[in-house]
Structure 1
Amino acid sequence: MLPITHSRKNPTQLTFIVLMILVGLNLRPALASLAPLLPRIASEGQFSVLTLSMLTTLPVLCLGLFAPFAPWLARRLGLERSLALALIILSAGLALRGIVSLPTLYSGTLLIGAGIGVLGTLLPALVKRELADSADLMTGVYTMALCLGGALGAGLSIPLADLLGSWSLSLMSWASFALTALLAWWWIMPQPAADQQQQETTGYARALLRQPLAWQVMLLMGSQSSLAYIVFGWLPTLLVQQGYGESEAGWLMSASILIQLFSAIAAPWLARLSKDQRPAFIAVLTLVGLGLWMLLLGSPALSWPGAILLGLGQGGSFSLALTLIVLRSGNSKIAGELSALAQGGGYTLAAMGPLAVGLMIDANMSIQGITWLLLTVLAFAAAMALLAGRQYVLDLDDNGTLVTIKQD
């Protein structure tokens, strides 16, 4: 373990934002870099489609399974040390995934999901602590970093494989990116041990499970994330089946993720305009539906416009879903518990999407059938948005009981 330094002061807000962006950039390349390489890996015949389906599903499942452990880890190690540990786990997973054997592929993928699951839960908590007055807007900046990282992973995956002469080395190369973030984080941020206040428990987790609003937020997070990870996992493969070259399919996915930068940063501003976020959600989810239809069922002339619309919709829907966790929480402790529930349960559900699409591809189901599945998931997300986007908040009543309150 790197030496612990207690004398360092907290960085300035600008320095922290740079660190937040650097760490955020590492939360999507591990997921997005595999998808463009799947047709090449499958063509070698070493791994079955079912095996590749599990490789796209396992990291998302681990996001959900390990996210609830992040608060527990932070209470024992402190937020800063926990984030450093998660970066170490992510780096190790990326390195292992570059070794061409089934055990190392699965082990590395599991570690990747665990690391990202913890990072994705801890980083918003740190943002709220360090930048409390602008936490919702900084959520947009954080989401923008995620989108940029995903675009880099998708766009550079094939060129790196060609440059390095191996798809496995292309996957392994992203470990250097995670190690860079780890060194910067450890060098600049103090790494204090957890204090007594951090070790206190909030006690709202069970109470949240009795609130329909909490379930609506979780199911919204899960359904819109499922579509996102289907795109991360299978969009290039689906496009190659439609006759696109693997490089063009990778760049279409990369462009779609890159364009998410704009809607991700704009979505929190939209959320601030009203206590009712339903119109904003319906607008971005409509863009997702149009983009999917144009990419998968439209003519080749519609592919790039479809990628742009899909990116605008998915960047906005993900950023709004994260912002909704803050907007539907009466205080920071409730927000922390709701975040663990929404991301833990939501990502666990989201993992079923890439697995289902992989099984459909293995069964040679038509692209039309797969597209209708995606649109069905989208319709469910819209239904949850109409419920979760209403003017209600989870807060404590005069007796200290968690209740759902209508906002004025």
Structure 2
Amino acid sequence: MDQASSSGIRQQVFLILAIILICFNLRPAMTAPDPLLGELRHDLGLSMDDSGTFALLPVFVLGIAAALAPRVARLLLPWKIILIFPLVAVAGILWRSYGGMIGLYGGMIVMGLGLGIAGAAIPGFIKHTMPDKAPFMMGIYSALVGLGTSVAAATAYPIAANLGGWKEGLAFWAAPILLACAIWGCYFKIYPSHARQQPLETNISRLLTHPRAWQITLFYMSRVAAAYFLFTWFPILLKGRGMNGDDAGYVLSLITLSQIPATLVAHWGEEKLGGHGRLITLALASSVISCWAIMYGPLEWVIPFSIICGLGTGAVFSRGMSLMVERADNETTALELSGMSQGFGFTLGALMALGGSFVLQHGSSILPFCLIYTAFCIMGIVTGRLSARPGYV
């Protein structure tokens, strides 16, 4: 192997490491408060409604941030967006920990905007730097988002306990973001020629009249609605079936962890099945069958069908992210499509899930839950198959 080839491999490995660290840190700081809500309620006097608003806030902020990302890309180079906005998130994390009630909400908004804008810029960056590896890298992106979420959920409470309380425990998540930014900044300090030299000429409004862009957006929206609805009500309904709280939480964790391998192998799975559409159909049909089996079958079925459900939802998440890149013919369109699909997807998807939750609160039972979740998944199958057809936005 000659020196040029060896240098090229080192450069590629360095870049992939930087991307891995950035992607891993897109969610932990946002999900870490969930296991600590009891402590937050006690110390700050949060009501149940306050807690619900606080838990839902990140979803809406991510949607707003994604919609802003294409506009920001007209002012800053993509690699600088991915460097600067996580640092903005660090400021939000610290404000959230030490700013009292105002900081709790204001810090979450600042943090969500920082991580959301950076996350929405990554698909376009991948399209530019690794166009031939884009589907695989978007699978990595999806897996790392899931892994970061799972790690935060599992470790937030013990970290807070060891550091002295929820304030220090939530502030801790600024440290891995700073490490990721340091590695990311070092890469572009060493290899400045690898970056795009001018900001992008983005115009997200042009996608608003494009049918394929709306198909991808509606597919992403259905995914958000189904996932948020599932994770909100699964523990409650499982406890209604006789499970204790710890076991119900374990089932939810199992679904989350099962998503990770599915996001990594979804690209190869669609090749074996003959295309995106078939994989999306199989994945969502598996999720629906699993939902009904968990809710109506013997409790002995819960564990295996939770794994199947996680595999299905993980594959759908991976394909939702990948379509933003694969249906764009250049970096600019990839960023615009990411902003549109995630912007509308997070905000409207969360509202759809809230609408479903409102129905359950006025006659809570398993059947309405299964029917609403099935409806969200059918919407995903239809829009996913339309999105998967060949062609660019």
1:359-406: per-residue Cα shift (whole Å, max 9, x none)? 5687683454444333322222222223223x24235xxxxxxxxxxx
Q: Is the counterpart of residue 309 in structure 1 residue 308 in structure 2?
A: yes
Cα distance in structure 2, aligned partners of 1:101 and 1:241? 36
Between the aligned partners of 1:108 and 1:354, the Cα distance in structure 2 is 25
**2:19–2:184 Cα contact (<8 Å) kept:** no
Query: Which residue of 1 is the match for residue 224 of structure 2?
Result: 225
The total of aligned residue pairs comes to 385
* Alignment deviations for residues 100-129 of structure 1 (CA, whole Å, 9 cap, x no partner): 843222112212321221121112222222
Partners of 2:353 and 2:52 in 1: CA distance: 7
Alpha carbons 1:98, 1:168 under 8 Å: kept: yes
Partner of 1:199: 199
Alpha carbons 1:158, 1:250 under 8 Å: kept: no
Write the distance in 1 (CA, Å) between the matches of 2:228 and 2:152.
Answer: 14
CA distance in structure 2 between the aligned counterparts of 1:100 and 1:305, rounded to whole angstroms: 44
Q: Which residue of 1 aligns with 2:117?
A: 118
Asked whether the equivalents of residues 77 and 197 of structure 2 are also in contact (C-alpha less than 8 Å), the reply is no
How far apart, CA to CA, are the structure 2 residues paired with 1:45 and 1:239?
30
Q: Contact 1:34–1:157 (CA<8 Å) still a contact in 2?
A: yes
How far apart are 1:81 and its partner, in Å? 2.0
Letter in 2 for 1:124: P
Match of 2:144 in 1: 145
Question: Structure 1 residues 307, 177: CA separation in 2 closer, same or farther (over 3 Å shift)?
Answer: farther
What is the SS of the residue equivalent to 1:393?
A: coil
1:342 and 2:329 are equivalent in the alignment:
no
**Cα 1:298–1:24 shift into 2, 3 Å:** farther
Residue equivalent to 2:392: 394
For 1:259 and 1:98, locate their aligned partners in 2 and report how far apart those are by CA, in whole Å: 31
Superposed displacement of residue 190, structure 1: 2.6
SS of aligned partner of 2:189: coil
TM-score (norm 2): 0.84
Corresponding residue number in structure 2 for 1:24: 23
Contact kept, 8 Å, 2:121 with 2:335, in 1: the verdict is no
Deviation of 1:199 after TM superposition, in Å, equals 3.3
CA 1:256–1:10: 2 relative to 1, 3 Å: same
Q: Is the 8 A contact 2:221 2:349 kept in 1?
A: yes
Letter in 2 for 1:263: A
Structure 1 residues 176, 331: CA separation in 2 closer, same or farther (over 3 Å shift)?
closer
Q: Deviations over 1:41-90 (max 9, x none)?
A: 66889323322222222211111111132233233232222112211122
In structure 2, stretches of 5+ residues that fail to align are 1-7
Quick one: structure 1 residues 189 and 331, their matched pair in 2 at CA, closer, same or farther if it must change by over 3 Å?
A: closer
Q: Distance in 1 between matches of 2:159 and 2:241?
A: 24
Structure 2: how far apart are the matches of 1:90 and 1:378? 33
CA drift of 1:184 comes to 2.5
| Residue range with higher mean Cα deviation, 25-34 or 319-328 | 25-34
**Residue equivalent to 1:215:** 214
The change in CA–CA distance for 1:176 and 1:363 in structure 2 (over 3 A counts) is farther
Q: How does 1:266-277 map to 2 (within 5 A)?
A: 266-272=265-271, 276-277=275-276
Q: Structure 1 residue 152: deviation in Å?
A: 0.6
- Percentage identity across aligned positions? 29
Mark the CA change 1:346 to 1:241 in structure 2 (over 3 Å): closer, same or farther: same
Matches within 5 A, 1:8-407: 12-38=11-37, 46-99=45-98, 101-164=100-163, 166-190=165-189, 198-203=198-203, 205-231=204-230, 235-236=234-235, 239=238, 244-272=243-271, 276-296=275-295, 298-353=297-352, 355-356=354-355, 365-389=364-388, 391-394=389-392
C-alpha distance in structure 1 between counterparts of 2:175 and 2:339, whole Å: 29
SS of alignment partner, residue 334 of structure 2: helix
- What's the offset of the Cα at 1:302? 3.0
**Counterparts of 1:82 and 1:353 in 2: how far apart (Å)?**
30
Deviation at 1:40, TM superposition (A): 6.6
User: How far did 1:23 drift?
Assistant: 0.9
Structure 1 gap ranges (5+) = 1-8, 396-408
Aligned with 1:342: secondary structure?
A: helix
Q: CA deviation at 1:279?
A: 1.1
Q: Is the 8 A contact 2:259 2:315 kept in 1?
A: yes
Partner of 2:4: none
Q: 1:343 & 1:179 partners in 2: Cα distance?
A: 25
Letter in 2 for 1:61: F
Pairwise CA RMSD: 3.4
2:315 counterpart SS class = helix
Larger relative helix fraction: 2
Amino acid aligned to 2:391: V
Is the 2:255–2:309 Cα contact (8 Å) retained in structure 1?
Answer: yes
Q: 1:302 to 1:340 in 2, by over 3 A?
A: same
Letter in 2 for 1:13: Q
